[in-house]
């Protein structure tokens, strides 16, 4: 990873001072395929503040050394704090929810992709989960879009290969659900989210 970037876990005052930056980052990155998220800054600030206050949670930021600008962020928390629309499918797949750590998202501005920051995000969250002392597995989920979706870019390469190199595999039958408003939609719709997991 470039020396121009440092990765740090944000907590307390440092986290609250960065909420606007983190909200803007999520909105910018999630507008792109495959999420197509039509984000709202006020919702994002509330989401991140609530997320940060959950016991055992972590928010990791990639910060540009020269400017102090946040160029990427990743979140994680024990799955027991997530709603049944996410926890339920993993419970049904045989996982102990009290020992499962959930990676909420990983967002990074395009110029910094492919520089090792994504690996750093996984390493930091896995280390945090292990330090909690009771987590046996880590998991995350990715949106499932149809191959013929009209907004799918030509030549799009999914992140499956990157995730597999990190040791994650899809969990058969474990599909959660998250609702948001797509670009051009009038309101929120539920999106299927395929889970991936690995032992810690």
User: What are the 10-residue block averages of pLDDT along the chain, 200 residues in total?
Assistant: 78 78 88 87 81 86 90 94 96 98 93 90 95 97 91 89 96 95 89 97
Q: Do 139 and 163 form a contact (C-beta atoms < 8 A)?
A: no
Helix/strand/coil for 118: helix
DSSP string, 51-91: HHHSTT-EEEEEEETTT--EEEEEEEEEGGGS-HHHHHHHH
Helix/strand/coil for 33: coil
Whole-number pLDDT of residue 2: 61
Q: Do 43 and 80 form a contact (C-beta atoms < 8 A)?
A: no
Range of the domain at 73: 5-199
Q: What are the tens digits of pLDDT across the range 144-170?
A: 998 888 899 888 888 999 999 999 999
DSSP letter at 105 equals E
Number of domains in the chain: 1
Whole-number pLDDT of residue 137: 98
CB atoms within 10 A of CB 191: 19
Rounded to whole angstroms, the Cα distance separating 175 from 195 reads 6
Helix/strand/coil for 115: coil
Rounded to whole angstroms, the Cα distance separating 187 from 180 reads 8
Whole-number pLDDT of residue 54: 86
Helices (H) and strands (E) in the chain, counts: 6, 7
**Domain of residue 104, CATH code:** 3.40.630.30
């Amino acid at each position: 990873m470039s020396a121009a970037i440092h990765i740090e876990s944000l907590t307390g005052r440092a986290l609250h001072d960065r909420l606007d930056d983190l909200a803007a980052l999520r909105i910018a990155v999630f507008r792109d395929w495959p999420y197509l998220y039509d984000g709202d800054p006020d919702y994002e600030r509330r989401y991140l503040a609530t997320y940060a206050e959950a016991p055992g949670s972590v928010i990791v930021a990639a910060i540009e050394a020269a400017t102090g600008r946040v160029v990427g962020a990743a979140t994680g928390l024990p799955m027991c704090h997530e709603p049944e629309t996410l926890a339920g499918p993993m419970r049904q797949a045989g996982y102990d929810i009290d020992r499962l750590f959930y990676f909420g998202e990983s967002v990074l501005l395009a110029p910094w992709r492919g520089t090792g920051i994504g690996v750093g995000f996984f390493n930091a969250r896995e280390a945090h989960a292990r330090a909690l002392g009771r987590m046996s597995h880590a998991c995350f989920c990715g949106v499932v879009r149809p191959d013929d979706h009209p907004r799918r870019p030509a030549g799009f390469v999914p992140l499956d290969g990157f995730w597999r190199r990190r040791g994650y595999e899809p969990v058969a039958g474990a599909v959660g659900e998250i609702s948001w408003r797509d670009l051009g939609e009038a309101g929120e719709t539920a999106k299927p989210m395929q889970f991936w997991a690995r032992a810690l």
